[in-house]
Chains A and B, each alone.
Chain A
Amino acid sequence: MLTKVIKIKPDKPEILEIHCHSVSDEVKEIVAFVKSRQGQLTGTSDERQYEISVTDIFYIESVDNKGFIYTKDKVYETRQKLYELEEILRKKNFLRISKSMLLNLMKVDSIKPSVNGRFTAVLYSGEQVVISRKYVPDLKKALKGDG
């Protein structure tokens, strides 16, 4: 695919256009990546594609190499890998809290101790997710503003 970057005047709107023969998986991935940079993630639910605002996401989980985006009342599947999303969402208050989960810190109501020496994050949706011991220092760092 030929790539072209054209500089435009500041008064004109920025547009990214993809001219392709067919909307392949590769094209979908590129579109999803660009949207994620703009604060939106692409997810599928019931074989339909949705644009999910990052601010609506509670957490993102990877299960059996598949990514799932959890909002207040819906779950979407995403094609993007967890490490890619971590990189994209780092500046959007998301934090890795276990090997397979990214948590939106803005959606956490409280943190409580768990029986097995770990911490549990209670979300505004009432759901509870476990924070692995390994990631607790990162959480502390992020909350102090060093993240």
Chain B
Amino acid sequence: MTIKEFILMRVQLFFFLVTMILAASFFVGITVAPEQELYYQDLISPIIMAGLCILPTCVTYFKKEPTIKQYVFRLVLQLGLIEGILLTVLTPPSDTDKLVFYITIGVIIFVIYVIAVCIFWFQKYRQSQKLTQQLKNFQINGSK
């Protein structure tokens, strides 16, 4: 993937996220707090939130094929960025112990991230199984 394609994909993802955050804000807002008033400055928050979501994905760009070590390093870096951004943005409720709050959020992010990586790997596994099946058919039924 070229840097141009990568940036284009991030921009597409950014606008998709902005739309989704706006839609989610509308549905959650109208259900939970329909009386809540919003101001002009609130309109910028979906853009900021989408931007913050996109930021950690930028470290996954590779110009050359990564080695296993490089790949793992980038995953750890991405997780670190997600943790850093979310822990900075989120503020604990006044009646909660700050340390417990941040540790809990940190662990939750870690677990979600690991699950996401596992899902990604499982998708790859399914894809590889499909490719193997196609390969067997190719070898039996004939070639190019």
Please report A residues at the B interface, Cβ cutoff 8 Å.
90-91, 93, 98, 105-106, 108, 110-119, 132-134, 139-140, 142-145, 147
Contact = CB atoms under 8 A, between A and B. Distances in A.
Give the interface size bracket for B toward A. Answer: 20 to 34
* Chain A interface mostly: mixed
Contact of A115 (B1, B68, B128): B68
Max chain B CB contacts within 10 Å: which of A98, A106, A111?
A111
Given A106-B139, A106-B143, A116 B66 contact: yes
B127 to A, nearest CB: 7
B125 A113 contact: yes
Contacts, number: 63
A105 B131 CA distance: 12
Given A106-B139, A143-B131, A113 B144 contact: no
A69 B127 CA distance: 29
Interface in B58-101: 65-68, 70-72
Nearest to A110: B132
Contacts of B121: 113
B119 interface: no
B144 A116 contact: no
